[in-house]
Amino acid sequence: MNIKLTFLGATQNVTGSRYLLEANGKRFLIDCGIYQERDFRARNWDPFYVPPKTLDGVLLTHAHLDHCGLLPKLVREGFEGKISCTPATAEIAKIILLDSAHIQEEDVAFKKKRHEKEKRTGPYPVVPLYTTEDAEATLPYFDPVGYNKAIQIGDGIEATYHEAGHILGSTNIKVKVRQNGESRTILFSGDIGRWETPILLDPTIYENADYIIMESTYGDRLHGDRDHIDDELEEIINSTHKAGGNILIPSFAVERSQEVLYYLNTLLNEDRIPHLMVFMDSPMAISVTKVFESHPELFDEDMLELVRRHESPFDFQRLKMTNTVDESKAINHIRGTVIIIAGSGMCTGGRIKHHLVNNIHRPESTVLFVGYQAVGTLGRRIVDGDEEVRILGQYYPVRARVAQISGFSAHADRNELLKWISGLNKPPKHLFVTHGEVEAANAFAEFLREQKGWEISVPEYQDEVILD
Ligand SMILES: [Zn+2]
C-alpha cells in the first residue's frame, strides 16, 4: 500500500487542524483550520504546503474555525475542488467564515488607525488574512454529504462521515483506500464530543480502523460531571433575581449558546426559576440557532421529545432573539431582572461589552461564565478577580458577582476519549495523537500505550508518514 499522510496542523498544539492525504494519484486535505494560538498564528500567512490548485478536495469534519478557518485563503490561492461536509456543517461554516473575515477586516482597520495616530508603521503590511469577498467566494465550493453513507472521492477512495457528538453537524471521517486488491481504513477523529450532551446525538464507536488520527484536547484531564449544571444555574438566577440585578452570560455562538438555552428552558419548565425575560443578543448565535432548528434529524431523543411537546428550548415564551442594534440597546431600559446571552464568549468583542458597561459596576448583577477564558482576554481578567477593567476605552470597577459554571465542555475528556476507541475489535496498525497541547498529547499517548499496548505516536509539524 502506498498512502501518504502529512501533518500540517494541530501537531502538539490545539488549533490549525490540517492533514494532507495522498493516495491513488489524488490529494485531499482533511480540515483546513486557522491557527488561533499566538505562538503559531504566523503559520496562517505561510504558503500552503502544496499548491491549492493541485488538491482534489477538502474533507471537513466540522465548522469550528480551527478546522475550517483557512478555507477562504485556500480558495483565493487557487483551490478548485469540493469542500465535502455535512449540510449542518456547511451552513454553520458559512456563518462562521463570514464573521471571521469581518473580524479580520475590523482588526486591520483598527490597527491602521492606531499606527496613524502613533505615526509609526508595523513590521508587516497590515492586511486581513482574507476578506469578506474571499469568504463569500468560498461558499459555492461547499458540497453537503449525508451521514453514514460512503461517498466515492476518487478511484478506489471513499469517505464516510459519522456523528462525532461535538457540535451540530460534527463528524469523524473514515477514509477507505483500495490498492491492488487490498484496502486500508484511516479514521480522522476531528473533535470528539461527549456522551449524553444536551441536544446532540452521542459520538460514534468504531469496530475497525487501520490508522487513527485522534484529538487529545483534554487527553490529560477528567471533566466534572454535568449533573449539577442545572442546580448551579438555578441558584445563580434566583439569587440575582432576589438582588434585583441582571444575569449576563458571555457565550460562544455555536453550541454553547444553544446549550445554555436548553438548561434555561429546563429550569423554566420545572418552575425552578421565575419566568424572566431571556435575550439571545447575538445575530450570529441567532443564525446558528436557526441552523439547529432546521436539523431535527441531528437531535437526540430528549430534544426531539421537547420539540414534539412544543417545549423547544429555542422557542419558549419569554425568549427574545434581538437581531438589531436598537433592539439590543432597548434591553438596557428594562426594569427588573433579565437574562442576557451575548457574544463574544471571552468578552473580546461583540454586544456583551455594552452589557458589561451597564452592569459590571452593579453589585446586584451577575456575570456568569460558561466557557474557557483564555489568558489576556477581558473575560479572563474578570474571572481572575481584577478590581477594575477597561471596556470600550473606559475603566469600570468590577462590583457585580462573577460566577462560573465549569461543567460545560464540547470535548471528550481522557476517559471519554478512551471510550471512543473501546469498540475496536483489533488494534490499529498505528494511532497518531494530535490536537492537544504538547503535555496533553504526550500524556494521552502514554496513557493509551499503558491501557492498550498499541503503536502510538505524537507527530510533529510537517511530519510525513507512509501508511502501508
Ligand atoms: Zn471543534
pLDDT digits (tens, 9 = 90+) for 68-91: 999 999 999 999 999 999 999 999
CA of 82 to the centre of ligand 1 (A): 21
> How many angstroms does the Cα of residue 106 sit away from the middle of ligand 1?
24
Please tell me the distance between residue 200's alpha carbon and the centre of ligand 1 in angstroms.
Answer: 14
d(CA 409, CA 414): 13
Give kind and range of the element (H or E) at residue 362. none
Question: Ligand 1 centroid vs 62 CA: distance in angstroms?
Answer: 7
Answer whether residue 225 shows pLDDT above 80: no
C-alpha cell at 206: 468504531
**Cα of 169 from ligand 1 centre, angstroms:** 11
Q: What is the pLDDT of residue 115?
A: 85
Distant-in-sequence, close-in-space partners of 324: CB < 8 Å, separation ≥ 6 = none
Please tell me the total number of residues recorded for the chain in this structure: 468
pLDDT-derived band at 374, boundaries 50, 70, 90: confident
Give tens-digit pLDDT for 240-297: 999 999 999 999 999 999 999 999 999 999 999 999 999 999 999 999 999 999 999 9
Q: How far away, in angstroms, is 64 Cα from ligand 1 center? A: 5
- pLDDT at residue 32 tops 80: yes
Determine the distance separating the centroid of ligand 1 and the alpha carbon of 68, expressed in angstroms.
10
CA 237–ligand 1 middle distance (angstroms): 29
Q: In the prediction, which pLDDT does 37 show?
A: 84
CA 331 / ligand 1 centre spacing (Å): 32
| Mean pLDDT across 95-104 | 95
Whether pLDDT at 364 is above 90: yes
Is the confidence at residue 123, as pLDDT, over 80? no
Q: Rounded to an integer, what distance in angstroms lies between the CA atom of residue 62 and that of residue 38?
A: 22
What pLDDT was estimated at residue 215? 98
- Rounded distance from Cα 6 to ligand 1 centre (Å): 20
Ligand 1 centroid to residue 182 C-alpha, Å = 33
Q: What is the whole-number distance in angstroms between the Cα of residue 166 and the centre of ligand 1?
A: 7
Please tell me the distance between residue 168's alpha carbon and the centre of ligand 1 in angstroms: 10
Expressed in angstroms and rounded, the spacing between residue 438 Cα and the centre of ligand 1 is: 18
3-state helix, strand, coil in the chain (%, to 5): 35, 20, 45
Rounded distance from Cα 217 to ligand 1 centre (Å): 10
- Round to whole Å and give the CA distance between 12 and 462: 12
pLDDT at 163: 98
Q: What pLDDT, on a 0 to 100 scale, did the predictor assign at position 118? A: 85
- Reported as a pLDDT band with limits 50, 70 and 90, residue 361 is very high
The CA 411 to ligand 1 mean position distance, Å, reads 8
Whether the upstream peptide bond of residue 344 has omega within 30° of 0, thus cis, is: yes
CA 136 to ligand 1 centroid distance, Å? 22
Question: pLDDT confidence of 411, banded at 50, 70, 90?
Answer: very high
Return the ∠ at Cα 21 (arms to 17 and 25), rounded to 5°: 155
Tell me 140's DSSP state. G
Q: Which three cell numbers stand for residue 35?
A: 491557527
CA of 264 to the centre of ligand 1 (A): 24
Q: Going by C-beta distance under 8 Å and a sequence separation of 6 or more, which residues neighbour residue 51?
A: 77, 78
Q: Is the pLDDT of residue 125 over 80?
A: no
Rg (CA), the chain: 23
DSSP 8-state assignment for residue 188: E
CA 150 – ligand 1 centroid, Å: 23
Question: Rounded to the nearest whole angstrom, what is the distance from the C-alpha of residue 192 to the centroid of ligand 1?
Answer: 8
Q: Ligand 1 centroid vs 244 CA: distance in angstroms?
A: 37
DSSP calls for 285-341:
HHHHHHHHHT-GGGB-HHHHHHHHTT--TTS-TTEEE--SHHHHHHGGG--S-EEEE
Does residue 192 contact residue 411 with C-beta atoms inside 8 Å?
yes
- Look at residue 289 in the predicted model and tell me its pLDDT: 98
C-alpha cell at 28: 485531499
The Cα–Cα gap between 331 and 322 comes to 9
417 CA distance to ligand 1 centroid (A)?
A: 14
Ligand 1 center to 180 CA (angstroms): 36
Question: How far, in Å, from the CA of 2 to the mean position of ligand 1?
Answer: 30
> How large is the average pLDDT for residues 212-238?
93
Separation of CA 312 and ligand 1 centre (Å): 25
- 146: exposed, middle or buried (Cβ count in 10 Å: 0-12, 13-18, 19+): exposed
Q: Using the mean position of ligand 1's atoms as its centre, give its distance from the Cα of residue 164 in Å.
A: 10
- What percent of the chain lies above the pLDDT cut of 90? 90
pLDDT tier for residue 17 given thresholds of 50, 70 and 90: very high
CA 425 – CA 408 distance, rounded (Å): 32
pLDDT in tens, 306-358: 999 999 999 999 999 999 999 999 999 999 999 999 999 999 889 999 999 99
Give the chain's mean pLDDT.
96
Least confident of 41-55, 114-128, 218-232: 114-128
